[in-house]
Homo-oligomer: A and B are copies of this chain.
């Protein structure tokens, strides 16, 4: 579902069209740069250990070790086995979400009953990751790049607001393991202010 956009310093930049997803290998030591080309768009990211896909990023382990729910440059994304899979090495936005699971047919029914049903980021990730052996039940809470979910510290109440990312903003992750990555251009109106847009990415070696 992605195609080459152009070459920049010899590195191919890929585009994920609006409301779709893709999956690919990321080798240990490589850096994945996720770019919001037009601004205010969300990209749900998953990372599985390429050698054993039962090991996957874990919001609960990551929050525990990072001691914060808002992750940015310098933070590491831990797996369910307490190993570091990815490290955030650059972040021009500073606001992402690791609380919420990818939107799905069911969340569309719940939040957007008047809209056409859509398989959402969950369905897009499941389809893209199927050839790597990942089944839908193996999809955990994703790291939602650029997603803006403020939490009221007193009441716990959360809101899903448009991202604060501007056109060209990015977040970069260095792989600490050989990984299988799932990545989307989000399908849910609330996540991006009702404006569906593509996501770009590139892999730096």
Give the distance in Å from the alpha carbon of A60 to the alpha carbon of B122 in the complex: 12
Give the distance in Å from the alpha carbon of A180 to the alpha carbon of B40 in the complex: 41
Interface mask (A75-100 → B, CB under 8 Å = 1, otherwise 0): 00000111000000000000000011
Nearest opposing residue in chain B for A83, CB measure = B106
Interface mask (A148-172 → B, CB under 8 Å = 1, otherwise 0): 0011111111110000000000000
User: Is A59 on the interface with B (CB-CB < 8 A)?
Assistant: yes
- Is the beta-carbon distance between A100 and B69 smaller than 8 angstroms? no
- Chain A interface, DSSP helix/strand/loop, else mixed: loop
Rounded to whole Å, the gap between the CB of A83 and the closest CB of chain B is 9
Tell me the number of copies of this protein. Answer: 2
Q: Which residues of A are interface residues toward B (Cβ below 8 A)?
A: 54-55, 58-61, 63-65, 67-70, 80-82, 99-101, 104, 106-107, 110, 137, 139-142, 150-159
- Is the beta-carbon distance between B137 and A140 smaller than 8 angstroms? no
A81 CB contacts on chain B under 8 angstroms: 106, 137
Give the distance in Å from the alpha carbon of A58 to the alpha carbon of B67 in the complex: 20
Give 4 closest A-B pairs by Cβ, nearest first. A70-B156, A60-B101, A153-B153, A60-B141
**6 A-B contacts, Cβ less than 8 Å apart?**
A59-B60, A60-B140, A60-B141, A65-B110, A82-B104, A82-B106
Known: A63-B99, A151-B151, A151-B153. 10 other contacts (CB 8 A): A59-B99, A60-B141, A60-B142, A67-B159, A68-B155, A70-B156, A80-B101, A99-B99, A140-B140, A150-B153
Rounded to whole Å, the gap between the CB of A108 and the closest CB of chain B is 10
